[in-house]
Amino acid sequence: MEHDQKLVLIDGHALIHRAFHAIQNPLTVSTTGQDVRAVFGFTNAFLKCIEEINPSHIVVTFDLPKPTFRHQLFTEYKAHRKPSPPELRSQFDVVRNLMHEFQVPIFELEGYEADDLLGTLCTQAEKFGIKSIILTGDSDTLQLVTPNVQVMMNSGTQKQTTYDINAVKNKYGGLGPEYVAQIKALQGDSSDNIPGVPGIGIKTAINLLLEFGSIDEIFNNIEFVKPPKAQTNLKEFKELAYSSYELTKIIKSAPVTLDLDQAKFGNFDRNNVIEFLSSLEFNSIIPRIPLQFENHADIPYQNTDKILNYSIVENESQLDLLIPKLQNGFSFDTETTSTNAMETKIVGISISISKNSGWYIPVGHHKGNQISQDIVVKKLSPTFSNPQILKRAHNAIFDITVLENIGIKVIGLEFDTMIAAHVLGRRNLGLKDLVLENFGVEMTKIEELIGSGRNQITMSEVEIHKASQYAISDADFTQQLYEKLNQEIIDAGLIKLTSQLEFPLIRILNLMQLNGVSVDTELLNSMSDILGNQLHQIKVEMFELIGHEFNLNSPKQLSELLFNELNLPSTRKTKSGFSTDAQSLDDLKTTLDLGNAIEADPRSYEVLSRILEFREISKIKSTYVDALPSLVNKKTQRIHTTYRQTGTSTGRISSNDPNVQNIPVRTELGRKVREAFIPKTPLNTLLAADYSQIELRVLAHFSNDLGLLQAFRNGEDIHNATASLVYNVEASDVTKDMRRIAKILNFGVIYGLSAHGISRQTD
């Protein structure tokens, strides 16, 4: 056998299920109406596997619908699983037919699962001296990893993770593939309805196997097992542990035979495959089909460029020819050196006016023919600022901020495909996710151009030709999404919402981002010194109170102090001991107040209070006081946030990098931080404007609550009125804190806040 031969074993059922659930909306064949999203996802994974691995042999395995030997061992095995929906079941035969077209052998055997066939076939391949890669979505197969067998875990869309022995050990705390079945036997597997041992989670299972070496040795040394609860459960459910092990173990001796001649990949009729994929309307995939070949060492792939009308605008005359073509509207995108719209440098602009066509205007690449940025700004500005020429973009606020910073004002923005998708209820709003979901096309990931981690480069370092294909594709598919989503917006009756509210709001938020906000850095620096001294003083007093030093930022050391030294009641369990988060400490204070911890050290209440005080000061110092000055833009001397219209499920605007909507207000210290946000000059004033309890007005309208309606008719402050009732005081005697709590109660009614949630927010 040749040294470089590799066998790919495909877990057909797992991949089809993953693909179906990864692509949320149906992908239908226009002529038949059949949903083929799972087929598309499977085909993508199949071709990607060929491109990355270059296998010499391929086989695929499937489960049969009949019971297996595992059902005989445990009648409830997989019993909780709901039947696959009809639109999924019909796609299995389509995938089988696809594999027949590729001449890939299919293995399925009554009484056995696909995992057992994978285990048997890769074991046989090892005897032939062939390395194997299992393509699956099922972590059970990690037990099959050996020096000659790897598992490529597919998420159903674009993400794949390859596991060798070291990767398995990293995943399971140092335990290798031979322990995977034992881990699952102890912890159980809800996806297969394997019970395991009640109360034994994955961390406990790993720790037990690390300590004792095997399930057998755990039970041989059961009296030494800790914690006591785990020992009790293991004793009680010993038989369940062993029966679960039999269920999780993959068989490697199923009655199937690997025929290397039949499994050799490449002996297919390419025209037949093209015809089959064309019938499914998978046109974007066809160029990726490899040619037939005898020796699989070098597989030529077709380039899709020839079926696309993509052009690079390299000089001023080409730009002059382009501009008249944009007068009827266009979609655009920008390529930049970073994702910070205010700080980044522009690398290029891509434009598209119709499907499968577009232009790339490079301006900031390190090498290659390109037009100067000044000329591009001068030439394009009249087109971009003309309100009669309508524009489309995806996440437009980023691109128009980038363009405004180089002198191109964008007026006449008609459509944002990301916001449209959000309004239509899509969950995945990234351009590549939407393109995969709507067109079944897997776009090039940015990491394929710039890399990741330490070796990552910027787009300016990418060759212009490579960058152009990526960039134009973004504009091209933005144009295609616009055409599709715009029709969906019309059909859903959402034109008024988008055209009169959501899309015009982009420009307003863009101006807010560009304007930014001034901060008093001197005040913040002074606060930093004061807070630093306060933190030091708390440490000194705490060390004196306890009698020794400890790390107030260490959950492990705090856990030791609180639950061992001070003998406080235990909270929920975490990696480092018992929980010492804020809620847990507040609960402990409540327990002490109620007198339910009589064995606790008398110093406990003061210790808990000082820890919480230390944390509040530390958080405000690190998150706001120390961080905000570093976020001031060197050019504008202001802080510029990013506003998102798609960041919340309630429709509210969100802010990040930094979040200027979350500046503390509940405490005096937090309000001091707010004082650092100042007008541009002493002659200016910061104006705060807000709708007056708009959600509660809507609630009053729909509920016809007489009290609410009367309060609004009288022009009362509804939160003030609620506080007056709750605290039984006159409206004039309601304090700010009373009103704050009443506000939480009022909005809690609307958004379904639980009693526990209200108690946490009002504490």
What pLDDT, in 10s, does the model give residues 431-470? 998 998 888 787 888 988 998 888 899 999 999 999 999 9
Fold (topology level) of 6-171: Rossmann fold (3.40.50)
270-324 pLDDT, tens per residue?
888 988 998 998 877 887 887 654 333 333 333 333 357 899 999 999 999 999 9
How many C-beta neighbours within 10 Å does residue 27 have?
A: 21
**What was the pLDDT predicted at 305?**
37
**What was the pLDDT predicted at 24?**
75
**What was the pLDDT predicted at 757?**
65
593, 608 Cβ separation under 8 angstroms = no
**Helical (H) or strand (E) element with 694:** helix 694-703
* 55 prior amide bond cis, ω within 30: no
Residues of the chain with CATH 3.30.420.10: 314-515
Confidence of residue 419 (pLDDT cuts 50, 70, 90): very high
**Mean pLDDT of the 684-693 span:** 80
**What was the pLDDT predicted at 291?**
63
Cα torsion 227, 233, 234, 238 to 10°: value is: 180
- Give strand pairing partners of 721: none
CA-wise closest residue to 192 among 309, 74, 111:
74
* 658 prior amide bond cis, ω within 30: yes
**What was the pLDDT predicted at 79?**
55
CA 420 to chain centre: 20
List, as one string, the DSSP characters of 189-256: BTTTTB---TT--HHHHHHHHHHHSSHHHHHHTGGG-SSHHHHHHHHHTHHHHHHHHHHHSPPS--S-
Vertex 278 angle, CA 273 and 280, to 5°:
105
CA-wise closest residue to 295 among 711, 709, 71, 4:
4
235-269 pLDDT, tens per residue?
988 988 888 888 889 989 999 999 999 999 988 98
**Helical (H) or strand (E) element with 383:** helix 373-384
205-228 pLDDT, tens per residue?
999 999 999 999 999 999 998 888
DSSP conformation class of 623: I
**Helical (H) or strand (E) element with 611:** helix 604-620
Q: Which residues contact 505 (CB under 8 A, 6 or more apart)?
A: 645
**What was the pLDDT predicted at 511?**
95
- Give strand pairing partners of 9: 59, 134
Integer angstrom CA distances of residue 217 from 204, 223, 227: 15, 11, 16
**Mean pLDDT of the 628-652 span:** 90
**Helical (H) or strand (E) element with 161:** strand 160-163
CATH number for the region 521-678 comes to: 1.20.1060.10
How far is residue 507's CA from residue 411's CA, in Å, rounded to a whole number? Answer: 8
**Helical (H) or strand (E) element with 545:** helix 521-546
372, 325 Cβ separation under 8 angstroms = no
How far is residue 488's CA from residue 685's CA, in Å, rounded to a whole number? Answer: 44
**Mean pLDDT of the 63-88 span:** 74
Average model confidence (pLDDT) for the chain?
A: 89
CA 383 to chain centre: 37
Query: Would you say residue 591 has pLDDT above 80?
Result: yes
How many C-beta neighbours within 10 Å does residue 320 have?
A: 11
List, as one string, the DSSP characters of 99-157: HHHTT--EE--TTS-HHHHHHHHHHHHHHTT-EEEEEES-GGGGGG-BTTEEEEEE-SS
- Give strand pairing partners of 330: 391
**What was the pLDDT predicted at 615?**
94
705-722 pLDDT, tens per residue?
888 898 889 888 888 988
DSSP conformation class of 386: -
393, 417 Cβ separation under 8 angstroms = yes
Residues of the chain with CATH 3.40.50.1010: 6-171
**What was the pLDDT predicted at 297?**
33
DSSP conformation class of 35: B
How far is residue 718's CA from residue 711's CA, in Å, rounded to a whole number? Answer: 7
Confidence of residue 549 (pLDDT cuts 50, 70, 90): very high
**What was the pLDDT predicted at 756?**
63
Q: Which residues contact 757 (CB under 8 A, 6 or more apart)?
A: 748
CATH number for the region 314-515 comes to: 3.30.420.10
340, 357 Cβ separation under 8 angstroms = no
For strands 518-519 and 357-362, give the pairing: unpaired
Query: Would you say residue 160 has pLDDT above 80?
Result: no
**What was the pLDDT predicted at 397?**
97
DSSP conformation class of 82: P
Residues of the chain with CATH 1.20.1060.10: 521-678
